[in-house]
Amino acid sequence: QGHEDSAHGEHTFQESKTFTGTKPEIVPWTRPMPVPPVLRPLVSTAKQEIYQLSIERTTAEILPGLQSPVMGFGGQFVGPTIRAKTGRKTLIMVHNKMDEAANIHLHGGHVAPEHDGHPKDVIEPGRTRLYLYPNTQQGTTLWYHDHSHGTEAAHVYLGLHGAYVIEDESERALNLPSGAYDIPILLRDIQFDDSGNIVVFDDPSKRTVVLANGVPQPYFEVAARKYRFRLVNSANQRVFKLRLTGDKITRIGSDGGLLANAVETEELVLSSAERSDVVIDFSKYPIGSKVVLTDAVAGEILRFDVVRRATDQSRVPAVLRPLPAMPLSTVDREVDLSFVFKPNDRPDGVINGKVFDMDRVDFTIKRGTTETWLIKSSDPTGVKHNFHLHLVQFRVLERNGGPPLPSDAGLKDTIPITAGETVKVQATFTGYTGRYVYHCHFLEHSWIGMMAQLEIVP
């Protein structure tokens, strides 16, 4: 279902068609997978780090030999990685150099409402806004992306995204692979037309080109030792089903940090915005081996080339760290994600029957309360949705009355939900008062209204 028309008449996105020749062919395994550079702070003390980050229009070589017009934090299609430490604040001065409003949201971050990148809190063109991330949560892999009202789907698709890693002392003490052996991989998809222009809004199933850190089918040279890969699904709407040729994957973390135990898995399911920290041990492979990461739909997406030996002092303890205890839940709510179809018009996305209104509060929550939410989708189309809650990490208690899926394990902020399913989750709303959104994280769905707002009150 195309959405070429503007959302709610507030924004018209002009697709720019720059290229007129023939789309260059992607030859697999000819380009290395880039590792997004770590953003350097202007100031770094034990208490805080101060950064500058631009939002700009730029170009990226996604197809070989073509510089595609994109958007990027720090002028990069995949933004720089921000590395933070628990207990040390991150302050970011974000400067919007574009000709349209944009903003930044720290996905999975426990931050005050005025720093959350609420859809209405945009940075106007030419302006700078200061964001404070307190990093009070435990070590985990988060990511940041645009969240501007009516434009987030196009902006993120065109590149406004990057990884945000929080490290903490107790995690460091586990001696997991670190430093040069701790690498974020942002996986997403994209569609090109026959001339090589990026197609922004069409049928998402036509986004057949899968990118690992911005490059289609790259190779990545590794040493014969353990690596920690922080996998982020940064696709607007897609569920990856990942496998490693001839081996299992060791999963150690989810959206909100380490799992209680390392888990070996054949297949890793990762819906949009979900994260999975994994360890792959290449020490069992002879030098010269090629190990391929595949997706059930896209096929081969990334090849690890084992090229050298290396010493390895890191370990993956079977027991990582216990998940926080779950307080008693005192409030029950239901959240229903759906489409509403209208004759001769694009559908609306709704939550509990309502299109998003950033001035309406849908749920009022008393600060400190633990709540149980039944997430469901009564969608008549049978399509998948993807529930995301800002501010807090939740736990999945049940899926369809039974146990959660392996991908629901640990601390979560995003979960896939298919029409007809029910998922029971529990969250405790600590810390801040104010307004936050929850929405379908298939961004073309939230864009057409599948978003709602809660307010936490004292």
Closest CB 263 distance from ligand C2O, rounded Å: 24
Tokens 């702070």, residue located: 41
Contact 433/457 with Cβ under 8 angstroms? yes
Residue 247 near residue 57 (C-beta atoms within 8 A): no
Per CB under 6 A, residues contacting ligand C2O are 105, 107, 145, 147, 273, 388, 390, 437, 439, 441
Nearest distance in Å: CB 445, Cu ion: 3
To Cu ion, the closest distance from the beta carbon of 337 in angstroms equals 5
**Cβ atoms of residues 105 and 425 within 8 Å:** no
Q: Which does 145 bind (CB under 5 to 8 A by kind): Cu ion, ligand C2O, none?
A: ligand C2O
- Comparing CB distances to ligand C2O, the nearer of 182 and 255 is 255
Interface with Cu ion, residue 442, by CB under 5 A: yes
**Backbone region of residue 159 per phi and psi (left: phi > 0; alpha: psi in -120 to 50; beta: other values):** left
Which residues have CB under 8 Å from 218's CB, separation 6+? 29, 31, 32, 33, 34, 212, 302, 303
| Tokens matching residue 306 | 């084992």
- Beta-ladder partners of 293: 244, 302
Residue closer to ligand C2O by CB (options 105, 226) is 105
Instruction: Identify which of residues 207 and 390 has a Cβ nearer to ligand C2O in the complex.
Output: 390
Task: Note whether 440 binds Cu ion by CB under 5 A.
Answer: yes
CA distances from 33 to 62, 218, 240, 302, 351 (A): 11, 5, 18, 8, 38
Task: Look at strands 89-96 and 48-60 and give their pairing.
Answer: parallel
Q: How far is the CB of 188 from Cu ion (least distance, A)?
A: 17
Q: How far apart are CA 290 and CA 363, in angstroms?
A: 51
Asked if residue 149 binds Cu ion (CB under 5 A), the reply is no
| From the list ligand C2O, Cu ion, none, partner contacted by residue 399 (C-beta under 5 to 8 A by kind) | none
Binding segment for Cu ion (CB under 5 A), chosen from 38-46, 361-369, 378-386, 387-395, is 378-386
* 445: contact with Cu ion by CB under 5 A: yes
Q: Which residue, 145 or 251, has its beta carbon nearer to ligand C2O?
A: 145
Task: Decide whether 35 or 419 has the Cβ nearer to Cu ion.
Answer: 419
Q: Which is nearer to Cu ion, 2 or 37 (CB)?
A: 2
Backbone angles phi, psi at 403, to 5 degrees: -70, 155
String of contacts with Cu ion for each residue 262-301, x by CB under 5 A: ----------------------------------------
Cβ-based nearer residue to ligand C2O, 147 or 384:
147
**C-beta of 151: minimal distance to Cu ion in Å?**
18
**How far apart, in whole angstroms, are the C-alpha atoms of residue 29 and residue 25?**
12
CB of 75 to ligand C2O, least distance (A): 22
Q: Quick one: what does residue 147 bind among ligand C2O, Cu ion, none, with the CB cut-off 5 to 8 Å set by partner type?
A: ligand C2O
For ligand C2O, the closer CB: 274 or 379: 274
Q: How far apart are CA 327 and CA 190, in angstroms?
A: 42
Annotate 271-310 with b (16+ C-beta within 10 A) or e (fewer).
Answer: bbbbbbbbbbbbeebeeeeebbbbbeebeebbbbbbeeee
Q: Which is nearer to ligand C2O, 321 or 388 (CB)?
A: 388
> Which structure tokens are listed for 149?
């009202």
Q: How far is the CB of 424 from Cu ion (least distance, A)?
A: 19
User: Which CB, 226 or 390, lies closer to ligand C2O?
Assistant: 390
Structure tokens at 184: 């974020």
Residue 107: name its binding partner from Cu ion, ligand C2O, none (Cβ under 5 to 8 Å by kind): ligand C2O
- For residues 427 and 255, what is the distance between their CA atoms, to the nearest angstrom? 14
179 Cβ neighbours under 8 A, 6+ residues apart:
none
- Minimum Å gap between C-beta 105 and ligand C2O is 5
Q: Which is nearer to Cu ion, 115 or 445 (CB)?
A: 445
Stretch that binds Cu ion, among 25-33, 252-260, 316-324, 382-390 (CB under 5 A): 382-390
List the single partner that 439 binds among ligand C2O, Cu ion, none, CB under 5 to 8 Å by kind: ligand C2O
Distance, in Å, from the CA atom of 217 to the CA atom of 299, rounded to the nearest integer, reads: 10
Name the binder of 445 from ligand C2O, Cu ion, none, CB < 5-8 A by kind: Cu ion
230 binds, among ligand C2O, Cu ion, none (CB under 5 to 8 A by kind): none
According to the binding rule CB under 5 A, does residue 385 interact with Cu ion? yes
Cβ(413)–Cβ(372) below 8 Å? no
- How far apart (Å, rounded) are the C-alpha atoms in residues 305 and 298? 20
Residues that bind Cu ion (CB under 5 A): 385, 440, 442, 445
